[in-house]
């Protein structure tokens, strides 16, 4: 059908690239399922609220975390975890949050949603501002605590 001709440099490059891709892909069989890409790492994201458990139980609002293909809304009254004294606060825990990407946290109560955080990375939302237990107090300087 087609006259025999020598391969052009472009066609040779395409043939070489195809062989390289086949070699790197390993053995193939049309009946084999496609291996999915590894899942992005995920983790919990804890949001501390300055509410007592009693206040949280009566709060009409909810928190919504969205971004990076994640979207979850948790009602405060039914979704909090209480922290014991002396903190006497509550946490809302968002589970299985992709740790790469940026997020917006909004509060919706008796009205329009209010953005609390916009475009923040997962790592910036991790609260490591509290000192570990048994390390210093508000009345001591870091030098005094060590």
CB 70 within 8 A of CB 104: no
Q: Which domain holds residue 96?
A: 42-122
Rounded Cα distance between 27 and 54, Å, is 62
- Residue 111's SS3 state is coil
- Residue 8, pLDDT score: 72
Task: Specify if 96 maps to a domain.
Answer: yes
User: Residue 59: which CATH number?
Assistant: 2.60.40
Average pLDDT, the chain: 79
Distant-in-sequence, close-in-space partners of 63: CB < 8 Å, separation ≥ 6: 47, 73, 74, 76, 92, 105, 106, 107, 116
pLDDT reported for residue 125? 87
Q: How many domains does the chain have?
A: 1
Query: Based on C-alpha coordinates, what's the Rg of the chain?
Result: 27
What tens digit of pLDDT does each residue of 79-95 get?
Answer: 999 998 899 999 999 99
Contacts (Cβ under 8 Å, ≥6 apart) of 107? 61, 62, 63, 113, 114, 116
> Is the pLDDT assigned to residue 12 strictly greater than 50?
yes
- Whether 118 is in a domain gets the answer yes
Within a domain: residue 46? yes
In a domain? residue 140: no
Mean pLDDT of 134-146: 42
Assess if residue 145 is contained within a domain. Answer: no
Residue 51 lies in a domain: yes
Does residue 130 fall inside a structural domain?
no
Higher-pLDDT residue of 126 and 49 is: 49
pLDDT in tens, 13-65: 666 666 655 555 555 555 666 666 778 899 999 999 999 999 999 999 999 99
| 128 occurs within a structural domain | no
């Amino acid at each position: 059908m087609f006259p025999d001709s020598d391969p052009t440099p472009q066609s040779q490059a395409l043939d070489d690239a195809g062989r390289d891709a086949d070699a790197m892909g390993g053995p193939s069989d049309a009946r084999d399922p496609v291996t999915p890409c590894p899942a992005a790492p995920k983790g919990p994201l804890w949001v501390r609220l300055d509410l007592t458990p009693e206040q949280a139980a009566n709060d009409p609002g909810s928190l919504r975390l969205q971004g990076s293909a994640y979207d979850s809304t948790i009602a405060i009254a039914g979704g909090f975890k209480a922290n014991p004294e002396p903190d006497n606060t509550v946490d809302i825990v968002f589970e299985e949050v992709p740790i790469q990407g940026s997020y917006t946290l909004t509060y919706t109560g008796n009205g329009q949603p209010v953005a609390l955080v916009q475009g923040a990375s997962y790592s910036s939302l991790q609260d490591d501002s509290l000192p570990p237990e048994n390390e210093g107090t508000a009345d001591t300087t870091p030098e005094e605590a060590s």
